Amino acid sequence: MKRLWSIIPQSFRRRTIWVAVTIFVRALLNFVGVATLIPILILILDRSAMDTNPYLAKLYAMLTPDSYSRFVIMVCIAMVGIILLKNVATLLLYRTERNYIYGLYKHLSESLYLSYHNRGFGFIKSNNSAVLTRNVNVVSLMFVVGVIKPLITIFSEALLFTLIMGAIAWYTPTAALMATALFLPIIIGFYLIMRRRLHDIGELENTAQRLKSRIVAESFRGYADIEIGGVFPLMFNRFETTINDVVKLRKRNATIGMLPQIFTEVGVAVGLAALVVLSLGQSGENTGIMFGIFAVAAMRLVPSIRGIMSSWSTIRYNLYTIDTMSDATECEHTSLAHEVERLNFNDNIELRNVSFKFNDAQSATINNLSLTIKRGERIGIQGTSGIGKTTLFNLILGLYRPTSGGIYVDGIELTDNNIRKWQNSVGYVSQSVFISEGTIAENIAFGHTVDNIDYKRLNEAIKLADLKEFIEGLEYGIETRIGEQGSRLSGGQRQRIGIARALYKGCDILLFDEATSSLDNATEQNINRAIERLSRENRALTIAVIAHRDSSLDYCDRIITLGE
């Protein structure tokens, strides 16, 4: 409970109190619904109750019916009306609980999404994207519907159970003792038997679901390599094994889910049989009323106890979600406002004694590096694989923070407070340009809605990136949809879209991270000529390029070789 409370955001804790109030009121209304059946039961089983029961006598005098039969009919109509109103009120009160549950889901899912994002590029790279996606979209939902909602149900049903048992004890202590003797062992026994099993099954299914999601994501993401390598049968066998585990665990959980109903129904049958045995040799009227009250109470107690047991089972099954949701820390959503201000870059970028070491690495990838890049300069970066070229770019881009040393733009150190402003001034084209599932226009004007695209600037970027001829040959032009991850584009076209995106952004510095290494020679030369032409036409644009081949760096003013 302490861990659960720590996960509930501050903004929801006050609402939790109101939910508790509605739970109490709903329990009272459900109790009233059961209580309204008692007068009908007494009137049916004991006609003399009109004389012996003062409450019924007062009601009869108030209504002044013509006959006993009409009085019973009037009581029945009143009972139906009360139950109808009770259910309408219960439905209205449930809206508070419903809005709380799904509002909490929305908040936690968003907070978990933001929490993962705010941990930075290193965290994203070191974790499986399929697992993070499942946590944000699925586990957050299972937490509220599989832990919080059942917990509310337990409190509500336990309160109703207490009220009903108290009323039974007041009217007929024998029936209350019998109900307690029957149902309490059932609840305790179910708890002791299933406590560990349900938790273990839930943990195992979560592991299997994560693996299944990863297999599917990898199968589609690496379709070409998997198909050419003939690996799909192996992938499918892994998927089949995993889904068999999920099905087996779900079957076990479904069987356990039936046990509360079986336990409670057996308990009621035993209770009714015991009452029949006890009634032998006793007066019929009192025994009949006690038997009837027990039956009416059991009609509502059985679903209540079943709800408590089923909800507890659900909580145990989904306990694994608590560990995941502990990462859903409070995040200021207002900080997501689009930042348009830029950090001025008029002179140079300096790396002063910069070192960087990954958390799980034995040694630093970048060690005590000092480097100055002047505005308008064209810099080439070379070095053996693994020497830290991409890491250097990620440091300049602000995706990584230096372990020691600092990065300065015109003498201003890059910090968490200004890194967004700096990133607004930087363009980046990687070896594998990210393409969203949208149109060419949306991918070039990345981050802008269709209504906010500046088409004059868009067409200029298309022209400078040598995309004009390609786009004019398409039926729908810039409105052509290019598939998931640009599946309908060639490698050169993807890179040109990346260049056009950086140009549309109007960046001051453009970084190319082996942007042509996966292209054929002719396409690579075309891309290099496009970059060189960009540099000639805009001498204020600073360009830094990582490349293995010297020919890709011919237009650079100087070349820096890391590791020397």
Asked whether residue 393 is domain-assigned, the answer is: yes
For residue 341, being part of any structural domain is answered with no
**Do the Cβ atoms of 492 and 433 come closer than 8 Å?**
no
Task: Return the CATH number at 277.
Answer: 1.20.1560.10
pLDDT, tens digit, for every residue of 161-178? Answer: 787 777 777 766 766 776
Give the start-end residues of each E strand in 383-452.
Answer: 404-409, 412-413, 426-429
User: What pLDDT is attached to residue 170?
Assistant: 74
Average pLDDT score over the chain: 78
**36 plus 111 within the same structural domain:** yes
d(CA 280, CA 146): 47
Backbone angles phi, psi at 361, to 5 degrees: -95, 150
How large is the average pLDDT for residues 525-539?
Answer: 74
What pLDDT is attached to residue 41? Answer: 63
Report CA torsion sign: 307, 152, 204, 226: positive
Instruction: Indicate if the pLDDT at residue 315 is higher than 60.
Output: yes
> Do 88 and 233 share a domain, yes or no?
yes
For residue 307, name the pLDDT band (cuts at 50, 70, 90): confident
Q: Which of 121-135, 235-249, 265-279, 421-435 has the lowest mean pLDDT?
A: 265-279
Q: How confident is the model at residue 280 (pLDDT cuts 50, 70, 90)?
A: low
CATH number at 532 reads 3.40.50.300
- Residues 315, 353 within the same domain: no
Q: Is the pLDDT higher at 55 or at 241?
A: 241
Residue-wise burial string across 24-36, b where 16 or more C-beta atoms lie within 10 A, e elsewhere? eebbebbbebbeb
Percentage of residues of the chain with pLDDT beyond 70? 78
Residue pair 500/465 in contact by the 8 Å Cβ criterion: yes
Q: Burial of 135 by CB count in 10 Å (0-12 exposed, 13-18 middle, 19+ buried)?
A: buried
- For residues 370 and 319, state if they share a domain: no
473-501 mean pLDDT: 79
Residues contacting 332, CB < 8 A, separation 6+:
none
Query: Both tokens of residue 61?
Result: 């005098």
**Same-domain check for residues 269 and 367:** no
Q: In this predicted structure, which of 270-274, 510-514, 525-529 has the lowest mean pLDDT? A: 270-274
- For residues 410 and 267, state if they share a domain: no
Kindly state whether residue 281 falls inside one of the protein's structural domains.
Answer: yes
Residue 331 or 80, more confident = 80
Q: Same structural domain for residues 369 and 470?
A: yes
Confidence category of residue 277, pLDDT binned at 50, 70, 90: low
Residue 408's pLDDT band (boundaries 50, 70, 90)?
very high
Q: What are phi and psi of 392, to 5 degrees?
A: -60, -45
Same-domain status, 113 and 241: yes
How does residue 283 score in pLDDT terms, banded at 50, 70 and 90? low
Spell out the residues 6+ positions from residue 88 whose beta carbon is closer than 8 angstroms to its own: none
Q: How far is residue 219 from each of residues 130, 238, 323, 487, measured CA to CA in Å?
A: 12, 11, 28, 15
CB-CB contact of 325 with 113 (8 Å)? no
Q: Note whether residue 144 is domain-resident.
A: yes
- pLDDT tens-digit map of 11-67: 788 888 888 888 888 888 877 777 776 666 666 656 665 556 666 667 667 767 767
Residue with the bigger pLDDT between 197 and 349: it is: 349
Instruction: Note the pLDDT of residue 195.
Output: 67
- What local confidence, expressed as pLDDT, does residue 526 receive? 72
Report the pLDDT averaged over residues 420-431. Answer: 85
Distance, CA of 78 to CA of 87 (rounded, Å): 14
Range of the domain at 367: 348-561
- Together in a domain, 260 and 354: no
Residues 233 and 372 in one domain: no
Q: Quick one: pLDDT at residue 49?
A: 57
In the predicted structure, residue 393 carries a pLDDT above the cut 80: yes
Count the domains in the chain: 2
Q: Does residue 121 belong to any structural domain of this protein?
A: yes
Confirm whether 488 is domain-assigned.
yes
Write down the pLDDT at residue 337: 58
237 lies in the same domain as 272: yes
The most confident of the ranges 186-200, 219-233, 368-382 is 368-382
Alpha helices in 280-418 (DSSP H): 284-317, 320-325, 389-397
Q: Is the pLDDT of residue 106 over 60?
A: yes
For 35, the token pair is 């209580």
Backbone torsions φ then ψ of 449, nearest 5 degrees? -70, 160
Q: What are phi and psi for residue 356, nearest 5 degrees? A: -145, 135
Q: Which of the listed ranges 217-226, 236-245, 531-540, 542-551 does the model predict with the highest average pLDDT?
A: 236-245
| Residue pLDDT, tens place only, 341-370 | 888 888 999 999 999 988 877 888 888 889
34 or 401, higher pLDDT: 401
Strands across the sheet containing 412-413: 366-374, 348-356, 404-409, 412-413
467, two tokens:
């995309």
Mean pLDDT of 447-453: 81
Question: What average pLDDT does the segment 189-212 reach?
Answer: 76
Name residues whose C-beta falls within 8 Å of residue 376's C-beta, 6 or more positions apart in sequence. 539, 540, 541, 542
In a shared domain, residues 379 and 515: yes
pLDDT category at 334 given cuts 50, 70, 90 is very low
Looking at the domain assignment, is residue 235 inside a domain? yes
- Identify whether 333 is part of a domain: no
Percent of the chain with pLDDT over 90: 4
